[in-house]
Protein backbone atom coordinates (compact mmCIF):
# COMPACT_ATOMS: atom_id res chain seq x y z
CA UNK A 1 0.00 0.00 0.00
CA UNK A 2 1.92 3.06 -1.20
CA UNK A 3 0.18 5.56 1.06
CA UNK A 4 -0.08 6.35 4.72
CA UNK A 5 -2.45 9.30 5.08
CA UNK A 6 -5.75 9.68 3.24
CA UNK A 7 -6.86 13.24 2.51
CA UNK A 8 -10.56 13.36 1.65
CA UNK A 9 -11.05 16.38 -0.57
CA UNK A 10 -14.31 18.29 -0.52
CA UNK A 11 -16.18 19.36 -3.65
CA UNK A 12 -14.25 22.63 -4.04
CA UNK A 13 -10.83 21.05 -3.50
CA UNK A 14 -11.64 18.23 -5.95
CA UNK A 15 -12.78 20.72 -8.60
CA UNK A 16 -9.61 22.79 -8.08
CA UNK A 17 -7.36 19.72 -8.32
CA UNK A 18 -9.06 18.54 -11.52
CA UNK A 19 -8.67 22.05 -12.98
CA UNK A 20 -4.94 21.97 -12.12
CA UNK A 21 -5.43 24.82 -9.64
CA UNK A 22 -4.20 25.14 -6.04
CA UNK A 23 -6.41 23.15 -3.67
CA UNK A 24 -4.40 22.78 -0.45
CA UNK A 25 -6.02 25.79 1.22
CA UNK A 26 -9.54 24.41 0.63
CA UNK A 27 -11.32 22.37 3.32
CA UNK A 28 -11.20 18.59 3.54
CA UNK A 29 -14.31 16.59 4.41
CA UNK A 30 -12.49 15.16 7.46
CA UNK A 31 -9.09 15.19 9.08
CA UNK A 32 -6.38 13.11 7.32
CA UNK A 33 -6.21 9.54 8.64
CA UNK A 34 -4.17 6.38 8.14
CA UNK A 35 -5.48 4.50 5.12
CA UNK A 36 -7.34 1.24 5.57
CA UNK A 37 -5.48 -1.88 4.50
CA UNK A 38 -6.96 -2.98 1.20
CA UNK A 39 -7.83 0.53 0.02
CA UNK A 40 -5.53 1.91 -2.66
CA UNK A 41 -3.46 -1.27 -2.89
CA UNK A 42 -0.99 -2.10 -5.63
CA UNK A 43 -0.63 -5.81 -6.38
CA UNK A 44 2.50 -6.29 -8.44
CA UNK A 45 2.04 -9.93 -9.42
CA UNK A 46 -0.76 -11.32 -11.56
CA UNK A 47 -0.70 -14.71 -9.78
CA UNK A 48 -1.32 -13.01 -6.41
CA UNK A 49 -4.18 -10.95 -7.82
CA UNK A 50 -5.81 -14.03 -9.33
CA UNK A 51 -5.25 -16.05 -6.16
CA UNK A 52 -6.70 -13.42 -3.81
CA UNK A 53 -8.99 -11.18 -5.88
CA UNK A 54 -11.35 -8.48 -4.73
CA UNK A 55 -14.59 -10.32 -4.00
CA UNK A 56 -17.30 -9.57 -6.60
CA UNK A 57 -20.05 -10.21 -4.06
CA UNK A 58 -19.45 -6.73 -2.68
CA UNK A 59 -21.88 -4.73 -4.76
CA UNK A 60 -22.05 -1.49 -2.82
CA UNK A 61 -19.97 0.52 -0.37
CA UNK A 62 -18.45 -1.16 2.64
CA UNK A 63 -15.93 -3.75 3.80
CA UNK A 64 -14.64 -4.82 0.37
CA UNK A 65 -11.21 -3.27 0.96
CA UNK A 66 -10.68 -4.65 4.45
CA UNK A 67 -11.89 -8.10 3.36
CA UNK A 68 -9.45 -7.99 0.45
CA UNK A 69 -6.58 -7.08 2.77
CA UNK A 70 -7.44 -10.05 5.00
CA UNK A 71 -7.36 -12.40 2.00
CA UNK A 72 -4.05 -11.01 0.72
CA UNK A 73 -2.41 -11.23 4.15
CA UNK A 74 -3.72 -14.74 4.83
CA UNK A 75 -2.58 -16.17 1.51
CA UNK A 76 0.49 -14.04 0.72
CA UNK A 77 1.76 -12.51 3.94
CA UNK A 78 1.72 -9.03 5.41
CA UNK A 79 1.69 -6.05 3.12
CA UNK A 80 4.07 -3.12 2.89
CA UNK A 81 2.95 0.43 3.69
CA UNK A 82 4.60 3.46 2.16
CA UNK A 83 4.43 7.02 3.42
CA UNK A 84 2.90 8.83 0.42
CA UNK A 85 -0.35 10.77 0.72
CA UNK A 86 -3.50 9.53 -0.99
CA UNK A 87 -5.98 12.10 -2.30
CA UNK A 88 -9.56 10.86 -2.14
CA UNK A 89 -11.62 12.85 -4.61
CA UNK A 90 -15.08 14.02 -3.64
CA UNK A 91 -18.07 12.02 -4.84
CA UNK A 92 -21.58 11.76 -3.44
CA UNK A 93 -21.67 8.96 -0.87
CA UNK A 94 -23.50 5.76 -1.73
CA UNK A 95 -26.45 4.71 0.40
CA UNK A 96 -25.30 2.65 3.39
CA UNK A 97 -26.51 1.39 6.75
CA UNK A 98 -24.09 3.48 8.82
CA UNK A 99 -20.76 5.25 8.41
CA UNK A 100 -19.08 1.90 9.17
CA UNK A 101 -21.34 -0.69 7.55
CA UNK A 102 -22.38 -0.53 3.91
CA UNK A 103 -25.00 -3.27 3.87
CA UNK A 104 -26.05 -6.27 5.92
CA UNK A 105 -24.72 -8.57 3.19
CA UNK A 106 -21.37 -6.79 3.15
CA UNK A 107 -21.13 -6.88 6.94
CA UNK A 108 -21.89 -10.61 7.00
CA UNK A 109 -19.37 -11.37 4.24
CA UNK A 110 -16.70 -9.29 6.01
CA UNK A 111 -17.29 -11.27 9.21
CA UNK A 112 -16.66 -14.47 7.25
CA UNK A 113 -13.37 -13.00 5.96
CA UNK A 114 -12.40 -12.14 9.55
CA UNK A 115 -13.11 -15.71 10.61
CA UNK A 116 -10.97 -17.08 7.74
CA UNK A 117 -8.06 -14.65 8.18
CA UNK A 118 -5.73 -17.22 9.80
CA UNK A 119 -6.87 -20.29 7.86
CA UNK A 120 -5.67 -20.43 4.24
CA UNK A 121 -7.90 -23.40 3.40
CA UNK A 122 -11.00 -21.63 4.70
CA UNK A 123 -9.95 -18.40 2.94
CA UNK A 124 -9.54 -20.21 -0.38
CA UNK A 125 -13.01 -21.77 0.00
CA UNK A 126 -14.50 -18.33 0.70
CA UNK A 127 -12.78 -16.87 -2.36
CA UNK A 128 -13.96 -19.81 -4.47
CA UNK A 129 -17.57 -18.99 -3.56
CA UNK A 130 -17.07 -15.56 -5.14
CA UNK A 131 -15.48 -17.11 -8.23
CA UNK A 132 -18.58 -19.16 -8.82
CA UNK A 133 -20.62 -16.01 -9.34
CA UNK A 134 -21.31 -15.17 -12.99
CA UNK A 135 -19.32 -11.92 -12.80
CA UNK A 136 -16.07 -13.96 -12.77
CA UNK A 137 -16.67 -15.60 -16.14
CA UNK A 138 -14.38 -13.22 -18.13
CA UNK A 139 -11.31 -13.77 -15.90
CA UNK A 140 -11.32 -17.51 -15.34
What is the per-residue pLDDT for 22?
Answer: 94
What is the per-residue pLDDT for 61?
Answer: 73
Residue 67 structural domain = 3-139
What is the per-residue pLDDT for 38?
Answer: 74
- Residue-wise pLDDT for 97-136, tens only, equals 877 778 888 899 999 999 999 999 999 999 999 988 755 5
- Residue-wise pLDDT for 54-96, tens only, equals 898 987 778 888 999 999 999 999 888 899 999 999 988 878 8
How many domains, in total, are found in the chain? 1
- Residue-wise pLDDT for 89-103, tens only, equals 998 887 888 777 788
Give the separation between CA 43 and CA 47, rounded to whole angstroms.
10
Do residues 108 and 84 make contact, with C-beta atoms less than 8 angstroms apart?
no
Which comes out higher in pLDDT, residue 24 or 140?
A: 24
- Residue-wise pLDDT for 32-58, tens only, equals 999 887 777 888 899 999 999 989 898
What is the pTM (predicted TM-score) of this model? 0.81
Amino acid sequence: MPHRKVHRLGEQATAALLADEPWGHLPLTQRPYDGVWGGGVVVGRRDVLLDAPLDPRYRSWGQEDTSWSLALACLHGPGWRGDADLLHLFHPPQPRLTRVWGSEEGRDLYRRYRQARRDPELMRALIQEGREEEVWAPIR
